[in-house]
């Protein structure tokens, strides 16, 4: 999972979450709902398209010279930040194709809705790296026809209410500025970013959203009920994920107990900040400049933008 400065318990929890998401039945459900090329396939058909085991937090994202990406690709090394790796990365064959055409898929789990940067921008960076890293791996010289399409799928486990239970796809699309050119998607349809935001149950709580929330969150409330839903509704066998779920339950309780005390303090701080945000909004409506309002409220612009997003 993306995020910095985590406790050992949180790091262990994130590692288990990645392992859960990397199970073939879980991946198959994600592909069915999030990847257009698989929406008409059964879970069994999708599983048959998976190539080998996915890379889990082993491949670098950032630039290296020479590049060290293997045939599947996975995160990169940054001198200032250390090694940043893709959570999960793998190849998958396209269904019902005479020739063997592959997609390169990246799945990221993000539990902080305000990590200090815009998550969509990081996602765009990831798909760009997945494209550029194919040079000298999938193709050489100028043989760009061999570029493989890439997907980066981001699962935000605790999203703000205003965007909870949503799935949004970002992709390249042509716009004819002068005249008309026949649309040929195979010439440019090479990258897609998919943002999945989980939250409390509402009218959109179904399909992939329900599956992921049950897998990553709801087991804490009722482990057996969660496992039954996953097996009966999503063909994810109880035995394949039981070990990780048990371990996550134990870790979650420890994190919860420690977090209750920290959360009480953080809640008070956040409450005060939100009160100041409302005060600033009221001053802005009356014509006060943002700079003056910030000075009166005694908070900086960065804090205002973070809690006002």
Separation between Cα atoms, residue 59 and residue 181, nearest integer Å:
39
Is position 152 within any domain?
yes
Residues 37 and 144 in one domain: yes
Residues 65 and 165 in one domain: yes
Q: Report the DSSP pairing between strands 149-156 and 102-110.
A: parallel
- Confidence label for 11 from pLDDT (cuts 50, 70 and 90): confident
The helix or strand, by DSSP H or E, that contains position 91, with its residue range, turns out to be strand 88-93
State pTM to two decimals: 0.76
Nearest to 32 by CA among 235, 244, 241: 235
Q: What does pLDDT average to over the chain?
A: 84
Residues 175 and 299 in one domain: no
pLDDT digits (tens, 9 = 90+) for 51-106: 788 999 889 998 654 444 343 444 444 444 457 899 999 999 998 776 668 999 99
Is position 76 within any domain?
yes
pLDDT digits (tens, 9 = 90+) for 217-242: 888 788 889 999 999 999 999 888 88
Supply 60's token pair: 């670098």
Is position 245 within any domain?
no
Residues 165 and 72 in one domain: yes
User: Among 216, 236, 256, which residue terminates a domain?
Assistant: 236
Is position 3 within any domain?
no
Is position 248 within any domain?
no
* pLDDT for the residue numbered 218: 87
Other Cβ atoms less than 10 A from the Cβ of 196: the count is: 25
User: Among 196, 213, 236, which residue terminates a domain?
Assistant: 236
- Confidence label for 309 from pLDDT (cuts 50, 70 and 90): low
Residues 160 and 26 in one domain: yes
Total domains, the chain: 2
Is position 294 within any domain?
yes
* pLDDT for the residue numbered 203: 92
- Confidence label for 1 from pLDDT (cuts 50, 70 and 90): low
Is position 60 within any domain?
yes
| pLDDT at residue 30 greater than cutoff 80 | yes
Q: Which domain holds residue 167?
A: 8-236
């Amino acid at each position: 999972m993306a995020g910095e400065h985590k406790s050992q318990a949180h790091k262990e929890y994130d590692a288990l979450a990645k392992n859960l998401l990397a199970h073939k039945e879980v991946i198959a459900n994600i592909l069915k709902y999030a990847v257009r090329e698989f929406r008409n396939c059964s879970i069994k058909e999708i599983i048959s398209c998976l190539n080998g085991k996915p890379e889990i937090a082993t491949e670098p994202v950032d630039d290296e010279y020479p590049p060290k990406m293997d045939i599947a690709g996975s995160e990169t090394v940054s001198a200032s930040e250390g090694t940043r790796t893709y959570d999960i990365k793998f190849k998958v064959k396209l269904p019902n194709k005479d020739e063997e055409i592959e997609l390169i898929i990246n799945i990221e789990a993000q539990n902080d809705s305000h990590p200090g940067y815009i998550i969509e921008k990081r996602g765009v960076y990831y798909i760009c790296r997945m494209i550029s890293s194919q040079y000298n791996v999938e193709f050489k010289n100028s043989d760009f026809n061999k570029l493989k399409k890439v997907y980066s799928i981001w699962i935000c486990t605790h999203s703000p209410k205003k965007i909870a239970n949503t799935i949004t796809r970002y992709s390249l699309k042509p716009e004819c500025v002068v005249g008309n050119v026949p649309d040929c998607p195979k010439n440019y349809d090479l990258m897609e970013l998919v943002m999945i935001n989980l939250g409390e149950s509402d009218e959109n709580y179904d399909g992939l959203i329900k599956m992921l929330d049950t897998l990553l969150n709801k087991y804490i409330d009722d482990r057996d009920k969660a496992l039954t839903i996953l097996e009966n509704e999503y063909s994810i066998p109880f035995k394949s994920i039981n070990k990780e779920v048990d371990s996550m339950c134990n870790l979650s309780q420890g994190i919860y107990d420690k977090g209750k005390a920290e959360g009480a303090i953080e809640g008070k701080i956040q409450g005060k900040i939100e009160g100041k945000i409302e005060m600033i909004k009221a001053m802005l409506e009356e014509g006060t400049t943002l700079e003056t309002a910030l000075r009166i409220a005694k908070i900086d612009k960065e804090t205002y933008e973070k809690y006002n997003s």
